[in-house]
Structure 1
Amino acid sequence: MSEQAQESLPPLTPGYRELLVRLLLASTAVATQPSTALESTQYLERLEAEHPGLFVHGLLELALDTSGALDLRVLSAICAKNAVTRRWSHYIAQRVSDRERHRVHQFLWRALDSTEQPISRVILEVTAVVARYDYPKAWINLPEQLLAWCPATAPLERQYRWLVIVNHIWKTLSRHRSRSQLEHVSVMARSLWHRLVDLWFRLWNQNLAAWLPGLVPAPASCFWQPSADQLDLWLDCVRENLKGLRRLVAQEVFQGPDASTLIALLQHCTHVERCLAGVVGHAAAARLRYLLIKFKYICFTNHRSIEDFPLSMLLPWSEDICAMLLQVPEKRERSDAALDESNERRSLYAMRFLRDILGELRDLETADDIEEACLAACGDIGAQRALEDRHHPVWTTLQALVKAQYAALTCALLDRFVRLSATELATWLERPAAACYDDEESEWNDDQMRSLAEQVCAALAAIDADAFVTTLSARIGALRAVHDWLGIEAAFRVLGRAISTLGDALDTRALLESMLYPLLQSEGADAAELFLQARTAILTGQCGERLPKVDRCRLYGALVSKLGDVASPAHLVRAFGAARGLLMLLCDLGFCADDFCPYLPDAMTHVFTLMEACTEEPKSMSQLLDLVVVLVESCPGAFFDVHDTESMISWISVRLCDVMERLFFGGHDDGTLHLVRCQLVAHLTRLLAADRGGVLARQPAVIALALRMITFGIGYGSDASTYLIDDAFELLHRVLLVASEYDVVLDRLFYSVMDWLGNGDLLRPVLRVVRAYAMLGGCVWYARHAGALAGHFGNLYASGLSDRVVAELSELLLALFACADDAERFHKDFGILLGALEKDLHAGQFGCGPRASIAVLLATALRDHVLMDDDLARIFLEAAAVTFSTTQRARLALLLAKYLDAHEGQHCLHRDRILRLLRQVHRELGEDSTPDDDLSAHNGDVEHVSGVPGDTGLLPDCTAQDIRGEWNRLVERLLARHMSD
């Protein structure tokens, strides 16, 4: 943009500034003058929409005017940021002119000099958003201006401010970039990279780090000793510098000469970290070590995208990480929160690095990827580089390093990160269920120390399963001799995590006989031993599929016996562990219902006893209800077919409904309770689905509770309740399927169902529920609600539906036709919709599946008419070729037979194809199967398509006698007439 163009833009007038001030002040008087505040806000929105560039510039000038009140200036800055977010895009209708953009750019560079908080922070955000929208299209010289804003020789304070600006801009700029902009982003990244690397070395060459012993050879030779404030500023610069370098590495922009500067930088970082390793008890040194290891981890995760990445550096990095993990933590008299946080984060990234290194080593044991090898043979540079990296000698050296420290590393991880402390044990005893499900809920949580340590142990097991089992066995034996129960619990914990990778290296039967079963049988002397028993129960469930039938039967009795023991919090932990272990055994592929049937009554009794002991924890009770559901689903024969079924079901249904009602309708309505409600509705749906013969559905309390939950779910108004509403409709569908009669309560509930017909996300579940209503209510329900449904369906179809929904709507109309008193009533209600469907069917607007569904619907609705339309006859023939149902194929064939009969003596366009269809259906009707059987036979003229409608079982008068009657009167006469042909 030229200077002349910039000067031609008029400056901001004092009157406009005064108008903005007056409107901003008036908009804040919501409590005292709400109408004035509303009018001022609307006026501000109008100004923003009419001239967004002028509006943003005026607000920024007010924010930087130090003579104004601070609260008004902060409000101006926030309004400017919001306006830029809403109006600055190049794709909105009211675009900002290039001249206005340029003026804002120039003003932002001056505004960035301000260090006044919180205005400075908002200005940074405004600059970042403007850069995202304008670079490179309207701000092509942004990189040059960014580098010129702070010279390389500027003071440290200016350098720190520049680093913060760079990180803000780059964080926003690197998001949502189109392919056409990537080249400009890469150019900007390379210019920033060289400046950041140069700044890194200059920061470390200023001798400001002389306060760290061992960092420089001769600390006494330093010409300047920094003050505490200067030291903090230097550390902030190092932190922001590393943050910028880390983000550029993650952007994958390195090629050619940039890789050489990266190598020099990484070598320096390794040297600095090794110097800092000798500094103990210093929070700043620990912070620097954390930042350095995080940077190296990001470089490693992106090393495949960096040309000429020095893989040889992985060896010293891995040596340092192993040494750090093996190092005994320092003991301090007083705790230091900053130091502890830095050490914890450093350990997290160390374990992430080691986990990924072990993953690379595990992948080396597999053969080369065939596709990658082919690409490399064809000259693909990326594939060739990947194969070269795969066969680099550093991996062999790393494998030797890991195996040399295998046992020590495994034990260090168990002792430092996996093992529970006494404090943690006391905390877990306050939340028994959470203690037993902790590893399941945080299985791949990289921000949780224990979970990450378990992942590293599992990766070690994948490298060498035999060594892992040997190490754990020796460790468990030594700990058992001294009754170190928490140490054994840690070993069992990682054993369960790695169970799937151990294969034949682990003898599960020997482990069961020597350790697991004796521990389950013991009473438990203290809290630590009871906690170990809980972990033992979980481990038995994790290795259940490896056990033979006789061992699983022994475990059933042991686990069931522990379910009902709730004498203390520690016993509760063991009971929840037994519940989780039992649940895994029941869900195992080798589970046999007959083996567990003798334990079912005791298991049910103990689970409800356990529920009564944890009534204050909805999530825990929901997990136990999941066990109840699995018990019913796994042993339906024992549950529903015993001689005292009614009394047993009555007892269970009363307790079950009491628990579910308290959980569903009690407690504070927050996110956790919402999730629990969804789970409860799903549990009840599964119970009704597993109900044999409707035994559970005949319990009044069960259906009454289900209807209350459905009414609550359908009427729940929160935007976040889609899952709850969806589950409620699924439960309603199940209730309608098992209900014995259509009563007033269900009829009243249908009015609420119709309210959701306009919701696109829930349309398909609602259509399923309407169909279930039709099956249950029949003619009575149709007479009450068909008129209203016709209006809803017409509006839905006019608004546009997907092919899949159109097919489901057609099948639903087919079900409604069966409920109508006669065809005339159905045509009166849904005739307009049928006409629209037929019109669009002729126009070819549907795919194969919806076309077949609509054809079957029209053939059924027009069964008393004579078909004369040649195009519709062709569509009916295609539908008959793809439908699975003999009934539907016969209905289509009957209408086509009338079409053929009406064209007697005339040329019939589809004569031969119709005759082949009639012969096929004639053979199917002559077999022993009824017309309602789903047959795989189909006409060969049109390719068979899966996913098209099958028999709904709801066609009116579609009995074998009815179809054969019409066949005798018409079809057999036609076949005989054309037999000679």
Structure 2
Amino acid sequence: MELSYDNLLTVLTIASGSERNLGQKNGEDQLKAWEIQPGYHHSLQEIYLKVDIPLQIRWLAIICFKNGIDKYWRASRQYSISKQEKEQIKSRVFHLLSEQNNQLTIQNAHSIGRIARFDFPSDWPTLFDDMAKSLEEFVFKSNDLISTNNMLIILNRTIKTISMVRIGRSRHALQSKAPLITNILIKLYQKFFQTWTQTMDLSLMEVCYLCLKCLRRIIPEGYEQPHKNQDVVEFLGITVDHLQLLIDNHDKYSSDLLERYVKCYCKLYVSLITINPTSFILLPGCQKILTTFTSLLYQKAEYIYNSSEENDFWEILALKAFSIYKHLIGYIYKKGAVTLKQKNDKFEVSNSLGKLTSEFFTPDFIKQFCDLIITWYLRLKPSDLESWSLEPEEWCNEELSSQWEYQIRPCAENFFQDLIKYFKDDLTEFILNKISNGLMENDSVDKILIKDSILCTFQLSSFSIANNVNFDKLLVDVFIPEGLKSDLVENKILKRRICLIINEWVGIQCSRESRVEIYKLLLNFVQSSNDRVVKFSAIQTLRTIVDDWDFNKNDFQPFLNSFVNLLLSLLDELTLTESKLYIFNTLAVLIQRCNPLVDHQTLISILMVVPKYWEFSTVNNEQILKNSLLRVLKSLTISLNENSIETHNISIPLIRNCCGSDSNDLYTLLSEDGYELWMALLQYCPQTNLNDPQILGLFESISIGLTNSTEILPTILSIIRSYSLYSPSLFYSEVGQGILKILGEYLPTMRDDAFQIFISLMDILVLENAQSEQFITNLVNSGLFSSMISYVLDDNQSIISASKLFIILSRLGHASPEVFFKLLEYYPSIDISQLLKVWLQYFKSIGNPRNKKINLLALLSLITYGIPKNIAIVLEIYSEVIRKTFLFLEEVNETTEGICDAYKQDFTYEDLDEYSYLDTDIKPHGEKIRFEVLIERSDPVYKVNLKSFLKDSIIQLKSQLSDSDFNQLMTLNDEYSIDKLKTLI
């Protein structure tokens, strides 16, 4: 269909229909096809500008228009809108300022904002001048509130869009226009504010609010030094008065819009502090702003404490106040560390710091403020205690996941941590006195809550006061006795707090002996307490200790089985998926960190609950629980080690379920943990269970992960590597060839972490299968051999990486030089001469003696085979190979069998001990045993004496060449090599 105004209107009418049908889909397809047609966006604009067209058609037109601006306005885009059409569109963007529909205006504003982002200032220099002129005309001449409202919506969106630009001319150009716009907006704001506060006209109130929104964006973004602009200084002074007025008359003017006003003032101050704290502090009204928020925190503290409403107005203001203070004390602590853009900035920073510390954040104020925080803001609120009682699990989970910016108690805790960190000298003694004098009375809930709040300061001060406190003594003398008091209802509050204190302090200052006492205490909490919050807090602390760097599993062993059994029993008590998830994750960490101390029966008891909760998560559609179950299975597999076969009946079906071709929606959510379990299952599979049909049957599914899960390619490659040791013959199959083919395609751009595993995989495969005709055929037919040759000859690849790949080529060359040359001849495009020269050139970059020997064995094999065959390049490199071999033999001291200590490290399979944590009491897993057997059986590094091999090569050449040819060959050597050869033969 041809694009025309009438046709476009018809198609928009069909596509905007309320019922979904074939015609509507065809209409959408036609709109999609017209996107790239010249004039399409101009016609869309024309349609949505006509008020006599039905709203739903105009709505679809503006949406298509806005999306088209995003896709096609940039000149660099394919099918971009022509310059002429752009000018026609821009000439009409302000033609519908009288629009009655607010949502349509907002979409139009988004479109204008995007155009401004691309065209201002170079192609639309008059943008802000035009908007300023329109605002003046509407307000001071016609009093057209609708047009004023719409223009302010557009202006707000435009400022917001341009201010997000951090490079280019747009931001600087915005700052040049800021005084013009700011002056008009301030006049409008003052006019409307005075009127609506007298008349309570909601329309005026809305327009005035839009003025404030625009100002709160343009002042922080449009002025590098707001404190030096008189208009801005006067306006900010007015905002404080207005803020106080609205706060004082909150009940009188109570409305959602009024609360948005107050929040907008707060956002303005926070933006100013964030962007330019020096300028904010130097504002004449800064002290008044801070005093206002301080008064608010004091006056409304009790109300906020007792409030149970979500998004409570006063709580939101308190959050903003703490945010402002947080920025300012951070500024003091960092000594005003800002970018010095002008010579006088350093003086102004010093001046602002002096003003802040002498007039506001004085030592007395800081201590009084701490008292306020302890008394009201760190205390558990009545709503907390109610939630604790009625929904303990949900409350615990919220405590673990809450974000401090949005809840007053976590926000106060976060702010207090900054206070004690930044003003440590002023507050350390103050806090310690609070703690020593405030821990005596437990005779009422209120006193216990204050006591809990004081203990909270000790918890939050761990990093700052650690040098002034003996935590081990406090633990034994104060916290443990407090925690073991009779199980009164009120004592649960202090038990939870003791868990949180230990949670914070254990990684900072805690002896091995103290940790043992903590294990006893936590075990008591979980065993004896009927309160789920106390139990959950104890488990949270346990997990922190077990995951700590200084955790000693032998000290923990006497408590291990008890904790595991309690965790398993706790699973049945908990009802929320999040709680069960936390328990399973804790079990996984516990098994992992205590390996191999968890006894066999305990591991099996954990294993037995997995199917039950897998079924539970399926029935309740709680798939996220399955990730934790897979991690638990992985930890169990590792801990069971040679007995890991006991997990197979559970693990293998789950792996197939999560990583197989039929996993569907589960693949995205579960495959990563499924592959981790699969890898552990293979690595820890014992030697007695090789060639298990179920494990072999999984091999076909690995191609799915290799193709679709490149973000976890190292894990997928590790699984393939495990199969190369578990059952090498798998790579003779069609599936094996397919895997080699995919690897060949990945090789040129493979990441370093995956490349290292690829090298170890290929090293194992070639060691196992170099004599297998079928494997060599698959290697060639898959294209992997060609990819490896191309890789080492590519100058853009790293020399270090190419040198690692030469290890694989060396294995092939040494195993059968005849086959190796035939493989090279199979590809006419390969320059054999260039390959061997690069090989010798890169040999210099190898520092690993083991890898040097592998390369030399191959090069000696190639020259021994190639010289009698008159391969010219082999003769050319002969003398250099001989010299490098003698030089290498001087570096090492091989035994008669060819063994050397230097060869017993730096294997290509360097992550072999990843799961053993280097603990000497952990037995090697099945894969390590398989790798060691392979190395001992097949690796020539340990079976061939290089000096003898060199001697045999020379003798073989002598027997295959005529005397004259052999003598001529010897003359190619330098004096050093000739002398060495005389002692050799």
* Paired residue secondary structure (2:95): helix
User: Which residue type is aligned with residue 897 of structure 1?
Assistant: L
Report the counterpart of residue 512 of structure 1 in structure 2.
475
Equivalence map 1:569-968=2 (5 Å): 571-614=531-574, 616-639=575-598, 645-655=599-609, 657-658=610-611, 660-662=613-615, 664-669=617-622, 673-674=623-624, 676-689=625-638, 691=639, 693-695=641-643, 697-700=644-647, 704-705=650-651, 707-709=653-655, 711-714=657-660, 722=668, 724-739=670-685, 740-759=689-708, 760-780=710-730, 782-783=732-733, 785-797=735-747, 801-802=750-751, 805=754, 808-820=757-769, 822-831=771-780, 832-863=783-814, 864-865=816-817, 871-877=834-840, 879-883=842-846, 886-898=849-861, 908=878, 910=880, 914-920=884-890, 923-924=893-894, 929=900, 932-934=903-905, 957-959=938-940, 962-964=943-945, 967=949
CA distance in 2: counterparts of 1:187 and 1:879, whole angstroms: 59
Q: Pairwise mapping of residues 65-84 of structure 1 onto structure 2 (< 5 A)? A: 65-84=50-69
Q: CA deviation at 1:470?
A: 3.5
1:128 aligns with 2:87: no
- Residue matched to 1:363: 334
2:981 and 2:724 mapped to 1: Cα distance?
46
Residues 128 and 168 in structure 1, CA contact (< 8 A), matched pair in contact too: yes
Q: CA deviation at 1:109?
A: 0.8
Amino acid at match of 1:269: T
| Residue in 2 that maps onto 1:525 | 488
C-alpha contact (below 8 Å) 1:164/1:240 kept by paired residues: yes
Range moving further from structure 2, 759-768 or 141-150: 759-768
Aligned amino acid, residue 269 of structure 2: K
Distance in 2, Cα, partners of 1:562 & 1:604: 14
Inter-partner Cα distance in structure 1 for 2:632 and 2:125: 59
Where do residues 230-379 of structure 1 align in structure 2 (5 Å cutoff)? 230=201, 232-251=202-221, 253-254=223-224, 259-275=229-245, 278-279=248-249, 281-282=251-252, 283=254, 288-304=261-277, 310=282, 313-328=285-300, 341-364=312-335
Kept in 1, the 8 Å contact 2:106–2:153? The answer is no
> Aligned partners of 2:230 and 2:66: how far apart in 1?
40
CA distance in structure 1 between the partners assigned to 2:192 and 2:682 by the alignment: 74
8 Å CA contact 1:516–1:536 kept in 2: the answer is yes
Letter in 2 for 1:346: L
Offset at residue 164 of structure 1 (A): 1.8
Q: Is the alpha carbon distance of 1:337 and 1:807 closer, same or farther for their aligned partners in structure 2, counting shifts above 3 Å?
A: closer
Deviation at 1:208, TM superposition (A): 4.8
Q: Give the Cα–Cα distance (whole angstroms) in 2 for the partners of residues 300 and 653 of structure 1.
A: 55
Residue 920 and residue 265 in structure 1: after superposition, are their counterparts in 2 closer, same or farther (change >3 A)? farther
The aligned counterpart of 1:947 is none
CA distance 1:795–1:85, shift in 2 (3 Å):
same
* Aligned counterparts of 2:417 and 2:613: Cα–Cα separation in 1: 38
Please give the alpha-carbon distance, in whole angstroms, between the structure 2 residues aligned to 1:893 and 1:790. 27
Distance 1:402 1:452, change over 3 A: farther
Counterpart amino acid of residue 79 in structure 2: Q
- State the shift of 1:607 in Å: 1.1
**Alpha-carbon spacing, 1:86–1:717, altered in 2? closer, same or farther (3 Å):** farther
What is the SS of the residue equivalent to 1:756? Answer: helix
Note if contact 1:311-1:394 (Cα within 8 Å) is conserved in structure 2: no
Length-normalised TM-score, structure 1: 0.82
1:706–1:523 CA distance, 2 compared to 1 (3 A): farther
- Retained in 2: the 8 A contact 1:84–1:129? yes
Is the Cα contact below 8 Å between 1:530 and 1:574 reproduced in 2? yes
Q: Deviations over 1:341-394 (max 9, x none)?
A: 432221111011112222233334xxx98xx9xx9xxxx645862464146463
Matched residue type, 2:621: H
Deviations 1:274-325 (A, max 9, x none): 455544634366654443233222212222585x962665433333322221
The answer to which of 855-864 and 891-900 deviates more is: 891-900
Residue 399 and residue 900 in structure 1: after superposition, are their counterparts in 2 closer, same or farther (change >3 A)?
Answer: farther
Question: Judging changes above 3 Å, is the alpha-carbon distance between structure 1 residues 102 and 925 closer, same or farther for their aligned structure 2 residues?
Answer: farther
State the Cα distance separating 1:581 from its structure 2 match. Answer: 1.6
Q: CA deviation at 1:558?
A: 1.6
Look up the SS of the partner of 2:776 in the other structure.
helix
2:459 counterpart residue number: 496
Q: 1:544 aligns with which of 485, 506, 511?
A: 506
| Structure 2 residue matching 1:110: 3-state secondary structure | coil
Q: 1:194 aligns with which of 183, 202, 209?
A: 183
CA offset at residue 201 of structure 1?
4.1
Contact 1:263 1:310 in 2 (8 A): no
- Supply the distance in 2 between the matched residues of 1:83 and 1:302 (Cα, whole angstroms): 33
**Residue number in structure 2 paired with 1:642:** none
Q: What does the per-residue CA deviation read over 1:928-971, in whole Å, with 9 as the maximum and x for residues that have no partner?
A: 646751269xxxxxxxxxxxxx9986668214563228626536
- Counterpart residue identity of residue 876, structure 1: W
Percentage of pairs with the same residue: 15
Letter of the aligned partner of 2:646 in structure 1?
A: Q
Output one character per residue of 1:219-250: Cα deviation in whole Å (capped at 9) or x when no partner. Answer: xxxxxx42x3x2x2343334322322222244
Q: 1: CA distance between counterparts of 2:939 and 2:309? A: 78
Q: Which runs of 5+ in 1 are unaligned?
A: 1-12, 210-224, 640-644, 937-949
Q: Offset at 1:809?
A: 3.5
- The answer on whether the counterparts of 1:479 and 1:487 sit within 8 Å (CA) in structure 2 is no
Deviation of the 1:735 alpha carbon: 0.9
Given candidates 2, 20, 24, the residue that maps to 2:12 is 24
2:370 is matched with which residue?
410
The alpha-carbon distance between structure 1 residues 112 and 971, as it changes in their structure 2 partners (threshold 3 A), is farther
Number of residue-to-residue matches in the alignment: 900
Query: CA 1:624/1:879 → structure 2, altered by over 3 Å: closer, same or farther?
Result: farther
Return the alpha-carbon distance in structure 1 between the equivalents of residues 296 and 433 of structure 2. Answer: 21
Decide whether the 8 Å contact of 1:190 with 1:258 is kept in 2: no
1:813 Cα deviation from its structure 2 partner: 2.6
Q: Give the AA of the match of 1:247.
A: R
Q: CA deviation at 1:713?
A: 4.3
Letter in 2 for 1:650: I
8 A contact 1:25–1:72 mirrored in 2: yes
Pick which of 135-144 and 345-354 moved more. 135-144
State the partner residue of 1:146.
131
How far off is 1:402 after superposition? 4.2
Shift of 1:817: 1.9
The equivalent of 2:416 in structure 1 is 457
Residues of 1 paired with 2:527 and 2:206: CA distance?
57
- Output one character per residue of 1:581-630: Cα deviation in whole Å (capped at 9) or x when no partner: 2222223344322322211121111111111101x322211211222233
1:744 Cα offset (Å): 2.1
Inter-CA distance 305–677: structure 2 relative to 1 (3 Å threshold): farther
Say if 1:315 and 1:397, in contact at 8 Å, map to a contact too: no
> Structure 2: how far apart are the matches of 1:56 and 1:80?
6
Cα deviation, 1:790-848, whole Å, max 9, x if unaligned, reads 333344458x5456655543443332223427253332111242133213423424202
Q: Tell me by how many angstroms 1:42 deviates.
A: 2.3
The residue type equivalent to 2:658 in the other structure is F
In angstroms, what is the RMSD of aligned CA positions? 3.8
Residue 14 of structure 2 contacts residue 27 of structure 2 at CA under 8 Å; is this kept in 1?
yes
Aligned amino acid, residue 270 of structure 2: Y
Q: CA deviation at 1:775?
A: 1.2
Q: TM-score, normalised by structure 2?
A: 0.82
Distance 2:454 2:661 in 1: 49
